[in-house]
Amino acid sequence: MAEPAIRLRNVHLTLGQGRSSVHVLKGVDLNIARGESVGIVGPSGSGKSTLLMVLAGLERADEGLVEIAGQSLGGMTEDQLASFRGRHIGIVFQSFHLIPNMTAIENVAVPLELAGVPDPFERAARELGLVGLSERLEHYPGELSGGEQQRVALARALAIEPDILIADEPTGNLDSEIGRQVADLLFSEQTRRRTTLVLVTHDAQLAARCDREIKVRTGEIHDDGGAPRAVLPQHVDRHVRALEAAPE
């Protein structure tokens, strides 16, 4: 297989101190291919969110290897990790996590500016247009519905063209129809951009929309859904499609 987007080897993590410490991740091994979408399911408390935090570089593994886009997170300093995250990883949380005193466009543009992307406000406006929010650029989060806030969060996550998009219960705070619209947008943008997606969800229908489902049980991968689906790099894929389209 080509170099995977995500490679975990024997990842262990214990959270908390003393009597309240919990061995949350117990030797997780995982490969996720570039462009693949993976749904992570499992009972509450099984370590799904913690696993995402490790993938995002927001928690460090105590032991084992965490490699994103060919780079090992373990050896990075906090500053290097923050900068890596800002350029390579997009995150969408259940509760949106927008900055309340910034407008929609500022919420998207500021991380772009920090990542050194040119013309961050123009880029942010374009990204908000792609999620259907051209008319809401100057609104504050408190002036937006839940579905709109999550679309801003999605635009913010995708604007950097991340190598991996991480989503923890992204429709968990939305009613079912709005949740479905946000999920449609998430999958259509993920497919169009060929972003690697790791999605945690309780919703079996949502998980089934992913290329592969991974079942987690008490800190271990119980079923990794088989080998990563081979996803061709964009230029190879274009080449293959051109060949297929060519007359005999």
Ligand X SMILES: Nc1ncnc2c1ncn2[C@@H]1O[C@H](COP(=O)(O)OP(=O)(O)O)[C@@H](O)[C@H]1O
Shortest distance in whole angstroms from residue 240 CB to Mg ion: 38
Using CA atoms, how far apart are residues 210 and 197, in angstroms rounded to an integer? 9
149 forms part of the interface with Mg ion (CB under 5 A):
no
DSSP string covering 172-194: TTS-HHHHHHHHHHHHHHHHHHT
Stretch that binds ligand X, among 3-11, 39-47, 106-114, 239-247 (CB under 6 A): 39-47
Tokens 């079923």 belong to 223
Residues 42 and 215 sit within 8 Å (Cβ to Cβ): yes
Count CB neighbours of 174 within 10 A.
Answer: 21
Compute the least distance from the CB of residue 246 to ligand X, in Å: 48
d(CA 76, CA 107): 26
Tokens of 110: 């500021």
With binding defined as CB under 6 A, does residue 15 bind ligand X? yes
- Closest contact distance (angstroms) between CB of 111 and ligand X is 24
Q: Which amino acid is it at 9?
A: R
Q: Which stretch binds ligand X (CB under 6 A): 43-51, 63-71, 81-89, 98-106?
A: 43-51
Query: Alpha carbon of 24 to those of 18, 42, 62: distances in Å?
Result: 14, 13, 11
Q: Does 201 bind ligand X (CB under 6 A)?
A: no
- The correct pick among 18, 19, 44, 100 for binding ligand X (CB under 6 A) is 44
**19 lines the binding site for ligand X (CB under 6 A):** no
Which of 34, 48, 123, 156 forms a contact with ligand X (CB under 6 A)?
48
User: Does the footprint of ligand X cover residue 24 (CB under 6 A)?
Assistant: yes
- Vertex 9, ends 8 and 10: CA angle to 5°? 125
From the list 48-56, 96-104, 107-115, 146-154, the region that binds ligand X by CB under 6 A is: 48-56
The binding site for Mg ion (CB under 5 A) comprises 49
The binding site for ligand X (CB under 6 A) comprises 15-16, 20, 22, 24, 42, 44-50
